[in-house]
């Protein structure tokens, strides 16, 4: 373009030169050359394209797709060299790379070079999925795209529901599946120490364990009971109410792993199998069934998504099973007798003595309150109040201890004690508190002692009173006075009967009122001490707290928290009516005692579906709250 302009200017100057003469031509040539240079610089400035700033943009070619099909997501990166691309992870959403390309374009004098990355995005589970911003490193700077939303609609083909649905009675299991019903195919349990590397435990120790239920990948399960010990050697403690769910590979096979934390303890020494069991209904896919033919084409036409569609279209087999752990023997050792402290009360664990508080001024024979706190980890049920030292200078009385758990399984925490003590000796004394326990990790007894405190005790030393065993002298009996026989010597009394006197009547009225008052007080005391009434009051309070927690979770949009709190409210109400622990009430117990179409059973099924299935991030809270209200109303009636 610059060359063409230059030649046209030369032709124009030649024509002018022929008309004006040589001198004018020279002057005009200089002027034309200057304008040619200015014009060329302007054209170069305008014509050279400028580079655009770096940018990242993501887009979907459609807003919704059927389950099992995919949308094409395009990630456009322009303005620099692309480094690392960080794809987000969304539950139940599959993102697969489908190639990349480059594009160069000039728009309004501004040039850009874009790298385009294509991805297939889809899911086999219907729902609305939020794709977070995608992070891309461009020339060392991290940029992010805008978030996207993809709605996965229910496919036309029949799909298995999110929870476990009973199969029709006419659906028989495949022959290949009936051969292995030992639990390995439908899942199994494992029990392993949670923190310690020791292979043995001691009598009275609560050993933390990790309990795992291994379910085949893509299996759906519904639990019918809590975890129970198979034998009587061990006792299970403090099993976590809300298990964790992960995906792990074991022996070359991928499993969905549900993990609980709890503790086991034994009361006698020996070697016993730590067998646990869990009743559940498990549905697995029948891989022996023939697979339907699929149409080719579309973004999901590759082996990766073929496997997903195969699993989606494979029928499922459901069976009621009892998942059991392997009989792994655990050695239970007795507590050693050598080196056992005199003040040992049976506490097993690792503890510290904290915050001792003793009054500075005392008086012999008068009790005052002593407080202290024992923290650490172990069996806090066997932890008693620390002892005063020296022991012969004090007399302590039983007090109370309040335990505050430090974790969900209550293996760690602190226990605060308050008790009364009476000093037996006066004067200035150095007093300390000590506490003895058995440390299972060290395999030895340990005693922790608080720093000695100097206190002042007023009064004299108390001396134990010895009983007087000398024979008591029988006092002399008074001699009966002589009764006068003459009327003047005999005391005069009224002849009105005692029952007819006003004083006697008032005494009877007061006695009757006292009897009625005593009866009312006794009835009130018995009513307050009634264990059934106290249990009902505690259950009602727990029900109200759970309902309030469910309302808070519904306002915050927390689906899992809402169903956990609402289930607890119904469990407490049913536990009060059926006289059994609230946490032991499951859907199986409800359907066994109540109609299957009752609001309570419907809510339990909905809660199990959202707890063990795949629920959407945003739930239908008005419908769930209405169902909960109907369930609570039916229990109130």
Distance CA 155, CA 65 (A): 9
Q: Can you give the pLDDT at residue 618? A: 58
Question: Measured between alpha carbons, how far is residue 465 from residues 93, 395, 424, 450, 485 in Å?
Answer: 83, 16, 13, 33, 53
In which band, very low, low, confident or very high, does the pLDDT at 515 lie, cut at 50, 70 and 90?
very high
Choose the most confident range, by mean pLDDT, from 24-38, 272-286, 290-304: 272-286
Distance CA 411, CA 193 (A): 13
- Is the overall model pTM greater than 0.85, yes or no? no
Distance CA 53, CA 59 (A): 19
Q: For the chain, give the percent of residues with pLDDT over 70.
A: 74
Question: Measured between alpha carbons, how far is residue 489 from residues 256, 480, 482, 492 in Å?
Answer: 109, 16, 10, 9
Question: Measured between alpha carbons, how far is residue 72 from residues 59, 61, 65 in Å?
Answer: 8, 6, 10
More confident residue, 137 or 173: 137
Query: Please, are residues 187 and 216 in contact by the beta-carbon 8 Å criterion?
Result: yes
pLDDT tens, 292-332? 555 555 555 555 455 555 555 567 788 888 888 876 677 88
In which band, very low, low, confident or very high, does the pLDDT at 80 lie, cut at 50, 70 and 90?
confident
pLDDT tens, 357-393? 888 888 887 888 888 899 988 888 888 888 888 888 8
Q: Is residue 109's pLDDT more than 60?
A: no
> Please, what's the b/e burial string for 186-217 (b: 16 or more CB within 10 A of its CB; e: otherwise)?
bbbbbbeebeeebeebbbbbbbbbebbbbbbe
pLDDT tens, 35-75? 556 555 554 444 444 445 788 999 998 888 888 778 889 99
In which band, very low, low, confident or very high, does the pLDDT at 485 lie, cut at 50, 70 and 90?
very low
In which band, very low, low, confident or very high, does the pLDDT at 517 lie, cut at 50, 70 and 90?
very high
β-pair partners for 192: 210
Q: Residue 79: which of 125, 114, 47 has the closest Cα? A: 114
């Amino acid at each position: 373009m610059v060359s063409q302009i230059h030649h046209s200017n030369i032709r124009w100057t030649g024509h002018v030169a022929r008309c004006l003469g040589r001198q004018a031509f020279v002057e005009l040539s200089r002027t034309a050359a200057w304008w040619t240079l200015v014009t060329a610089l302007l054209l170069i400035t305008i014509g050279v394209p400028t580079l655009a700033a770096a940018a990242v943009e993501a887009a979907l070619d459609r807003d919704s797709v059927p389950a099992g099909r995919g949308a094409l997501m395009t990630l456009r990166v322009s303005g620099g060299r692309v480094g690392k691309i960080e794809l987000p992870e969304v539950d139940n959403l599959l993102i697969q790379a489908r190639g990349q390309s480059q594009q160069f374009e000039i728009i309004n004098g501004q040039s850009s070079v874009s790298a385009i990355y294509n991805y297939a995005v889809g899911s086999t589970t219907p729902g609305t999925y939020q794709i977070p911003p995608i992070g891309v490193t461009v020339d060392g700077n991290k940029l992010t795209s805008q978030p996207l939303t993809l709605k996965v609609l229910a496919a036309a083909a029949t799909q298995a529901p999110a929870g476990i649905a009973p199969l029709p009675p006419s659906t028989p299991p495949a022959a290949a599946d009936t051969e292995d019903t030992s639990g390995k195919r439908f899942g199994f349990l494992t029990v392993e120490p949670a923190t310690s590397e020791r292979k043995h435990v001691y009598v009275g120790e609560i050993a933390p364990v990790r309990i795992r239920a291994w379910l085949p990948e893509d299996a759906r399960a519904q639990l019918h009971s809590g975890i129970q010990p198979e034998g009587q050697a061990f006792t299970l403690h403090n099993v976590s109410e809300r298990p964790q769910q992960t995906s792990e590979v074991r022996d070359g096979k991928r499993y969905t792993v549900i993990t609980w934390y709890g503790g086991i303890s034994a009361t006698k020494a020996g070697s016993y199998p730590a067998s646990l069991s869990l009743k559940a209904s498990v549905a697995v896919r029948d891989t022996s069934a023939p697979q339907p033919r699929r149409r080719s084409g579309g973004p999901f036409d590759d082996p990766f998504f073929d496997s997903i569609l195969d699993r989606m279209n494979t029928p499922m087999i459901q069976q009621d099973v009892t998942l059991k752990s392997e009989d792994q023997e655990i050695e239970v050792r007795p507590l050693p007798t050598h080196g056992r402290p005199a003040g040992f009360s049976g506490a097993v664990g690792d503890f510290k003595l904290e915050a001792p508080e003793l009054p500075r001024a005392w008086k012999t024979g008068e009790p005052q309150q002593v407080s202290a706190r024992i923290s650490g980890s172990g069996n806090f049920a066997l932890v008693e109040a620390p002892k005063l030292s020296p022991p012969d200078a004090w007399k302590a009385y039983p007090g109370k201890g309040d335990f505050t758990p430090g974790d969900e399984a209550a293996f760690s925490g602190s226990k605060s004690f308050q008790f009364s003590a009476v000093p037996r000796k006066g004067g200035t004394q150095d007093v300390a508190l000590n506490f003895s326990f058995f440390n299972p990790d060290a395999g030895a007894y340990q005693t922790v002692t608080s720093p000695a405190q100097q206190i002042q005790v007023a009064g004299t030393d108390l001396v134990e009173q010895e009983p007087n065993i000398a024979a008591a002298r029988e006092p002399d009996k008074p001699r009966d006075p002589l009764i006068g026989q003459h009327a003047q010597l005999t005391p005069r009394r009224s002849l009105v009967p005692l029952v007819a006197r006003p004083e006697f009547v008032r005494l009877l009225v007061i006695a009757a009122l006292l009897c009625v008052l005593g009866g009312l007080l006794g009835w009130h005391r018995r009513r307050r001490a009634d264990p059934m009434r106290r249990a009902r009051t505690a259950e009602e309070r727990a029900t109200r707290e759970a309902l309030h927690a469910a309302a808070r979770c519904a306002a915050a949009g927390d689906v899992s928290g809402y169903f956990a709190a609402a289930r607890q409210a119904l469990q407490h109400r049913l536990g009060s009516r059926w006289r059994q622990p609230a946490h032991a009430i499951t859907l199986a117990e409800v359907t066994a005692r109540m109609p299957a179409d009752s609001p309570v059973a419907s809510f339990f099924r909905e809660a199990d579906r959202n707890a063990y299935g795949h629920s959407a991030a945003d739930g239908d809270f008005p419908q769930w709250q209405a169902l909960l209200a109907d369930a609570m109303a039916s229990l109130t009636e």
